A and B are shown apart, each in its own frame.
Chain A
Amino acid sequence: MFVTVMENKQRLFMLSLSRWIRTPVGSRLCRFASHLHRPSPTTSDTKNARIMRILGKRVQERTQLSSQLSEEMSSAADISRLKQLKESEPLQAAWDEWIRIRELLEETNALLEDSDEAMRALAVEEHQSLNKSLTELVETTVPALLIPPSTTSHLSAMLELKSGVGGSESSLFLANLLRMYLRLANVRRWQASVVSQNENDGGGIKDAIVEVKGEGAYDALRWESGVHRVQRVPATEASGRVHTSTVAAIVLPLMEETGTTEELFNMDDVKVEVMRSRGAGGQHVNKTESAVRLTHVPTGITVSMQDERSQHQNRRRAFTVLRSRLMDQKIMREIAERRATRQNLVRTADRSEKIRTYNYAQERVTDHRIGLTLKNLSSVLEGDGLEDFIGALQKDHAETVLEDMLSDA
């Protein structure tokens, strides 16, 4: 009995699928279709067809999985299968909903030709409403279900800011950016602490490292990595000429000593150096010399830390930075490996790339990756503006993930 039902469902699925796919004319998928340009109907139809093809595949896998369940449903393999079935329930529900709407549409189609005018009018209305539900399902609900949950959502972030071109003005702007991120952390109820900071002699901050602890901090901040450019008349400029300066941001996943994560390095590969000579040392000297430098020999990564009065603290912090940088390399490597297997165009993860411009004269901020401009600079630096960029960048990332998935389908 069970098998028959399944067979029927599968037949129905094939039928629906073939009907669906027949309609749109295939054309190249527009990878970077941003929200600024509405995609043409054909490309969006092709995309929708692919989305449903992936969903269909998932549902088929699910059916197969449930047929593998043993009678007793008690083995370890069964438990894992049941867990997977449970997790994929929303996929099945979305699929069932799609079939249902498609069937209703079929019925309504017939009524569109009805001889009774009132009936036809009713059918047109019904047809529109069903189409709307279908679009909503295919373009919003299903993609959200298909995108795998972020593997980095639990990670806190380590934000490194370094002044770039522009001398003192760059350091002054770095202080503005630092304030912006500390503000964001405060609003999001993350715990932010500046663990290292070097003042610039002419005002501002030469470089800073901030630990941002909290759920989702890394996922939100990771798109802030890159070169931030400022165009404004510096406070120090007498002639009123607009300068262009830059600050580089690097956002790393914060890797604290937890003991649970796999070791990212071998202790033998790390050279620990103290920075200055202490002469005889010990009881002979009571000067505070707590600076520490770590070198990870295989990668050549070096981390210096001197902000704490305790060498032990500096050492611990330096290891956190090292671990974070190594974790970041690992994530980048994995992304590169996944993408190397594809022929697709890939947006670069190059950190020397200019990602955003803050133009004071025009009161605007533009993110060059997604082409989004906010014409309210102070809201970005002092208000909710940054959230808009982060939201748009996360959405863009989700779309990229989906499109990667589609191109595999």
Chain B
Amino acid sequence: MASKLFATLAASLGPAQASLEFKWMIQQSPKLQHLTDMVTRRSRGEPLQYILGESLVLSKSPNLLTSIPGSQPFGPLNLLTRPPVLIPRPETEHWVIKLADRLSASSAQPKSLLDLGTGSGCIPLLLCHLLPQGSLRAHGVDISTHALQLATDNATLCAIPPESTSKNTFTVSLGNFLSPSFPDDAKINLPYDIITSNPPYIPWDEYLQLPRSVTAYEDPKALFGGPTGLDFYHAIARLVRRKHFLRPGAIVALEVGHGQAQAVERIMRLDAHMRDTEIWSDPWGKERTVLAHL
């Protein structure tokens, strides 16, 4: 029976990927009923990250499985994932760890961080985890209430409090940073030392080509970046060039889609009036992150 399940999985993923994922599924729950359910969902194209999660073993009825959060390791953290909130990607994990090394945060002068489109909260939460305690006050905004709930749950899971004088903190608020009324309606405290964002960056034509596991499960609002994919970078540029939005010496770190780094670098230089821009590549050799300094 198990070999039949494996064959089903291999037919949709290929044998190499299937053997890895099947192993993780068995680690999750060796029960045939659970395995059958996991393999069926995965073969239909559901992302593994929504399927595998610590709470799955606790569930009694297989009918409940879809509503139970999955998980995805992110650096040393294990974050909850829940449809339709964007699943944290390894490319993001990579640049955030690098950014943590770069940020010279010290608890003497706590830095304030704003994460635009925070989703699962992965970026600010990992930074809160990696930087010295008491050195960072992070805030995430998102247009999706699903995202805000998940980010809050993740903060609780990672033991990162919303308020503390000795520890790094993380708070969230609802907000649409494309809207002209932002940031006034988002209850945020200007100015900021660090802006991070993994904004939606997939252009229209590429959105149509995405695999089903992305489009059928993950929020289009977290993926679709307008006709050219650059809408949100223009919006971020408009924000950060406003008076008193950034503190002197501030740093902006933005994840970008493949082939967008040069364009985003230009936007940050020309529209946002930032200096000393840098482009970081991801582990697969794609230009993935644009860094800019005020």
Contacts and interface: CB of A to CB of B under 8 A. Distances in A.
A380 to B, nearest CB: 29
B193 interface: no
Interface string A306-335: 111111110000000000000000000000
Contact of A277 (B198, B284, B288): B284
A280 B284 CA distance: 10
Nearest to B283: A274
Contacts of B258: 280-282, 284
B144 to A, nearest CB: 15
Interface in B168-223: 198, 200-202, 206, 210-211, 213-214, 217-218, 222-223
A41 to B, nearest CB: 61
A272 B202 CA distance: 28
A302 to B, nearest CB: 16
A343 interface: no
B41 interface: no
A281 B284 contact: yes
B17 A286 contact: no
B49 A282 contact: no
A312 B86 CA distance: 19
Contacts of B91: 281-282
A278 B94 CA distance: 14
B73 A312 contact: yes
A318 to B, nearest CB: 13
B70 to A, nearest CB: 11
A283 interface: yes
B52 A284 contact: no
A199 B18 CA distance: 13
Nearest to B20: A306
B120 to A, nearest CB: 12
A309 B214 CA distance: 18
B206 A280 contact: yes
Given A274-B283, A309-B72, A312-B75, A283 B200 contact: yes
- Interface extent on A, as a size class? 20 to 34
> Which among B47, B87, B90, B258 has the greatest number of chain A C-beta atoms within 10 A?
B90
Contacts of B86: 283
A289 B76 CA distance: 17
A379 interface: no
B218 A282 contact: no
A140 interface: no
Contacts of B90: 289-290, 310-312
Given A280-B206, A286-B87, A289-B90, A274 B284 contact: yes
Contacts of A286: 47, 49, 87, 89, 211, 213-214, 217-218
B233 interface: no
Contacts of A282: 89, 91-92, 201, 255-258, 282, 286, 288
A280 B282 CA distance: 11
Nearest to A197: B23
Nearest to B214: A286
B4 to A, nearest CB: 15
Interface string A42-62: 000000000000000000000
Nearest to A272: B283
A285 B202 CA distance: 11
A312 B96 CA distance: 11
A313 B93 CA distance: 11
A365 B21 CA distance: 38
A283 B207 CA distance: 10
Interface in B44-73: 47-49, 52, 72-73
Contacts of B222: 283
Contacts of A280: 206, 257-258, 286
B257 A312 contact: no
A282 to B, nearest CB: 5
B48 A284 contact: no
A312 B76 contact: yes
A287 interface: yes
B17 A287 contact: yes
Contacts of A199: 19, 23
A199 B257 CA distance: 37
A313 B75 CA distance: 7
A313 B73 CA distance: 8
A284 B47 contact: no
Nearest to B200: A283
Contacts of B214: 283-286
A310 B74 contact: yes
Interface of A: 199, 272, 274, 277-278, 280-290, 306-313
28 contacts: A274-B284, A278-B284, A280-B257, A280-B258, A282-B89, A282-B201, A282-B255, A282-B256, A283-B198, A283-B222, A283-B257, A284-B210, A284-B258, A285-B211, A286-B87, A286-B214, A286-B218, A287-B17, A288-B21, A288-B48, A306-B20, A307-B23, A309-B48, A312-B73, A312-B75, A312-B90, A312-B93, A312-B97
Q: 5 tightest CB-CB pairs across the interface, nearest first? A: A310-B73, A280-B258, A274-B283, A311-B90, A286-B47
Given A283-B198, A283-B200, 5 more contacts: A274-B283, A281-B282, A282-B201, A282-B258, A310-B72
